[in-house]
Amino acid sequence: MNKEAKVADALPTEQKVFSEPTLRRLPLYHHYLKQLMADGVTSTSCPQIALALNLNPIQVKKDLECTALTGKPKVGYSVDELAGAIENFLGWNNTAEAFLIGAGHLGAALLGYQGFKDYGLDIIAAFDVDPAKIGTTINGKKIFPLKKFPELARRMGIKIGILTVPSAQAQELANLMVESGITAIWNFAPARISMPAGIAVQHENLASSLAVLSKKINKNNTEEFGHGQ
Amino acid sequence: MNKEAKVADALPTEQKVFSEPTLRRLPLYHHYLKQLMADGVTSTSCPQIALALNLNPIQVKKDLECTALTGKPKVGYSVDELAGAIENFLGWNNTAEAFLIGAGHLGAALLGYQGFKDYGLDIIAAFDVDPAKIGTTINGKKIFPLKKFPELARRMGIKIGILTVPSAQAQELANLMVESGITAIWNFAPARISMPAGIAVQHENLASSLAVLSKKINKNNTEEFGHGQ
DNA sequence: TAGATTGTTAATCGATTAACAATC
DNA sequence: TAGATTGTTAATCGATTAACAATC
């Protein structure tokens, strides 16, 4: 019995929750660890990771508590173990299957992105209402008519839905997903969708990111030239 | 002279900084205001916006301080004015031109996304090293050889660069952008890039979002079934 | 050993939320 | 007027950062 199991026995109900900023940083650490592995490096430390990613070393340490690994003072952690522990924590080693609705530009891009497999996600099919797209294959993934979604999702036990549709249709199609047994929705429409409790929703909003970038630009300009916006 | 100008005169150096979470919510408000406008609604309030977007009304009020608008007690704000003030604050009414490097799946999707114009961004050309892509047009945008980037960026005074390349090339091409006069980079590669001070960088990381979604799913499951992960 | 890093607890900082007077 | 919302200041909450003993 390993250490993790012992801790789990001792505290069966106490499950530490990690903040969203922490969760968002874990893939960055993992990416760096993979780089180290490719370079043949076998151990690393929080200060080293922090230096490479331009983060605070103590923050890195706090974040890595989620792995429940024990490091060696002065040495750090095994790169291999650490990468594996992050994958394990994020559930990247048991792949989940997903359906996508909306085979437009963005939908097609996601269908063609090979990296998702590494993150435990496999988009196995897409759905659309456009007769020109139905029956075709985009980036190796077959496009089905939207009306087949509920039946196929139920039959295949799909739990993750990806929404890449115009915002006007987002709420309606999210509802369809939930009625079809989907319990987690990754929403790329520039509109919030509201869902019943128990349904996980992750909003991806390019307008939000662009707003942050715009303001960063303004900030740099005003600092540089020394006057208000 | 309007109120904003007066405030700017009175406090020329004091420029209130708004938090990143606030900036990310502004486009959501704007989107809802546009909906109201389409429905012919002329005024709205923070509680109404909060209800529609499932947010805290006081948070909405705090966020809208960035507009420097004065609302009417019991009535709220003019939908039209509020939408305009947000556009103004985010700089969406003076369009900025951008170059994109990496005309793969994701790059093509961004080239084809019509919505950016509304957010003050115009991607006017893309660059790639693939001879099969160079000279072609993807979603109406011409693809140029990468080696033309510095000259064209300089000549056209382009300040925004969008990176949609594999992570192995991200840092190198970000450097090229900066050498070509780019001062803001929107990075879609799943790798952090480090930049000199004064260069604005916005990282877009699907792996991070997926990490958050995965954990939301786990959380719901453990709550539902009442045991640890 | 000396020194760097871990592990953990405490302090700080900033965002969110609450409180309340002013006002239409 | 009564009541809802604004504008603004204070309190809370949580994430980040600091401090420090333990240890290899």
Please name which of B24, B35, B36 lies closest in space to residue B63, comparing C-alpha atoms. Answer: B24
**pLDDT the model gives residue B90:** 94
Secondary structure letter of residue B71 according to DSSP: P
Q: Is the pLDDT of residue A4 over 70?
A: no
**pLDDT the model gives residue B222:** 65
Q: Is the pLDDT of residue B13 over 80?
A: no
Burial-class residue B74 by CB neighbours within 10 Å (0-12, 13-18, 19+).
exposed
The CA–C1' separation of B150 and D13, in angstroms, is 48
**What value does the mean pLDDT take over residues A23-39?**
96
Q: In what order do the strands lie in the sheet with B121-128?
A: B137-138, B141-145, B121-128, B96-101, B160-163, B184-187, B200-203
The CA–CA distances, whole Å, from B186 to A206, B88, B201 equal: 10, 21, 6
Rounded percentage of chain B residues whose pLDDT exceeds 90: 78
| Cβ of residue B105 closer than 8 Å to a chain A Cβ | yes
Residue scoring higher pLDDT (A223 or B5): A223
CB A99 within 8 A of CB A127: yes
Nearest to B214 among A54, A90, A204 (CB): A90
Nearest CA in chain A to B94: A214
Contact A119 B209 (CB under 8 A): no
CB B115 within 8 A of CB A164: no
pLDDT band with cut points at 50, 70 and 90 for residue A100: very high
pLDDT band with cut points at 50, 70 and 90 for residue A115: confident
**pLDDT the model gives residue A227:** 39
Substitution target from A100, A212, A223, A227 for chain B, most B beta carbons within 10 A: A212
Nucleotide nearest to B65 (CA to C1'): D7
Q: Which residues of A touch B217 (CB under 8 A)?
A: 91, 159-160, 183-184, 200
Q: Which helix (H) or strand (E) holds B21?
A: helix B20-38
**pLDDT the model gives residue B190:** 83
Find all residues with CB under 8 Å of B10, minimum gap 6, and list them.
Answer: none
The amino acid at B118: D
Tell me the Cα Rg of chain B. 21
**pLDDT the model gives residue A219:** 77
Residue scoring higher pLDDT (B105 or B80): B80
**pLDDT the model gives residue B66:** 97
**pLDDT the model gives residue A192:** 86
Q: How many other C-beta atoms can be found within 10 angstroms of the C-beta atom of residue B5? A: 9
Residue B101, SS3 per DSSP: strand
Q: Is the pLDDT of residue B197 over 50?
A: yes
Residue range A119-172, pLDDT digits in tens: 999 999 999 999 999 999 999 999 999 999 999 999 999 999 999 999 899 999
**What value does the mean pLDDT take over residues A218-223?**
70
What is the least distance, in Å, from the CA of A118 to any CA of chain B? 9
